[in-house]
């Protein structure tokens, strides 16, 4: 049976470290500040933004939430973003996705000040990640949180075979880059592939498809590490991941549960990265 990678426990530990760092910074007269811009009425996005705001305040981080109506134009959004980009009191900027269809999301994300890009999606920071630059820069929070989980549980990456299922710019692509940079041999596929052809001999599997039963016990070798990023509802309405958890748990070496695995790490990593951006800026 697998060792469960406890994302809740690790996120709590990271949050405690973040709060300690924030308190130290406050003694130096610096308060980290996260600004979130949300456009439209997507209820899932609003819930996520509320949870970010609440967590930031709990950790002593100043949180600004700018809510803009659905009909906001690209020009109007850029005006707000430009103000935040040049506001020295704001250290981290996040534009909540998805944006309304009339706004070019890729273009907008590219306009975030790279030094304040807390989500790590800005093209300059993405380029630094893929080039494995040695300097400080932000990285997409979910993959960065997964790397912390792997490190916490002393899971070896150098020379290991890793498969990333999913090619999104939010998880799949930056996850692959981080694993490559850590010395793993990485394959990136989508759920349309014959998953087992790639995963059966993999030491590490990261699934981020949002599709039930993407990974079953027939796709996994004994002792593999399974990272489940998916969030789906099963036929009973229960929140589950991409992985057939109960069956895979019996043969995996390590596995993340859903809920309680990767999810808590995303927000805690966002908070950690807000503090890091503050440290990397001219604020200290």
List the strands of the sheet with 204-207, edge to edge: 3-4, 254-255, 225-228, 204-207, 161-165, 185-189
Taking the C-alpha atoms of residue 193 and residue 202, their distance in angstroms, rounded to an integer, is 15
- How far is it, in rounded angstroms, from Cα 99 to Cα 278? 26
Spatial CB neighbours of 139, under 8 Å, sequence gap ≥ 6? 120, 125, 129, 174, 178, 273
Q: Which of 6, 55, 96, 203 is catalytic?
A: 96
Collapsing DSSP to helix, strand or coil, 205 comes out as strand
How far from each other are the two terminal CA atoms of the chain, in whole angstroms? Answer: 47
| Active-site choice (52, 116, 128, 160) | 52
Look up tokens 């809920």; give the residue: 259
Residue 240 DSSP class: E
Q: Single out the residue of 253, 247, 188, 264 nearest to residue 213, CA to CA.
A: 247
Q: Which of 6, 55, 117, 119 is catalytic?
A: 119
Token digits of residue 183: 């010395």
Contact 199, 218 (CB under 8 A): no
Residue 122 annotated in active site: no
Which residues are CB-contacts of 133 (< 8 A; sequence separation ≥ 6)?
none
Distance of CA 35 to the CA centre of its chain: 17
Is residue 52 annotated as part of the catalytic site, yes or no?
yes
Concerning whether 273 is annotated as a catalytic residue, the answer is no
Q: How many CB atoms lie within 10 A of CB 263?
A: 22
- Positions marked active-site: 52, 96, 119
């Amino acid at each position: 049976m697998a060792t469960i990678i406890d994302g809740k426990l690790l996120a709590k530990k990271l949050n405690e470290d973040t709060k300690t760092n924030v308190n130290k910074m406050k003694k130096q007269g610096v308060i980290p500040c996260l600004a979130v811009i949300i456009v439209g009425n997507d209820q899932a996005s609003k819930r996520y933004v509320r949870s970010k705001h609440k967590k930031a305040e709990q950790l002593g981080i100043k949180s600004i939430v700018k809510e803009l109506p659905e009909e906001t134009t690209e020009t109007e959004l850029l005006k707000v973003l430009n103000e935040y980009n040049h506001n020295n009191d704001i250290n981290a900027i996040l534009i909540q996705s998805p944006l309304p269809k009339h706004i070019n999301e890729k273009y907008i994300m590219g306009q975030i000040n790279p030094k304040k890009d807390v989500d790590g999606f800005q093209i300059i920071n993405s380029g630094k990640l893929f080039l494995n630059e040695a300097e400080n820069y932000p990285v997409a929070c979910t993959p960065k949180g997964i790397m912390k989980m792997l490190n916490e549980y002393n899971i070896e990456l150098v020379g290991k075979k890793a498969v990333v299922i999913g090619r999104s710019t939010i998880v799949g692509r930056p996850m692959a880059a981080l694993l490559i940079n850590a010395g793993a041999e990485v394959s990136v596929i989508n759920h349309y592939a014959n998953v087992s052809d790639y995963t059966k001999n993999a030491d590490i599997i990261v699934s981020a498809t949002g599709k039930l039963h993407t990974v079953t016990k027939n796709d996994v070798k004994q002792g593999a590490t399974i990272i489940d990023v998916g969030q789906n509802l099963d036929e009973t309405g229960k929140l589950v991941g991409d992985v057939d958890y109960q069956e895979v748990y019996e043969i995996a070496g390590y596995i993340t549960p859903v809920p309680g695995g990767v999810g808590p790490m995303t927000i805690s990593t966002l908070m950690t990265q807000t503090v890091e951006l503050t440290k990397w800026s001219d604020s200290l």
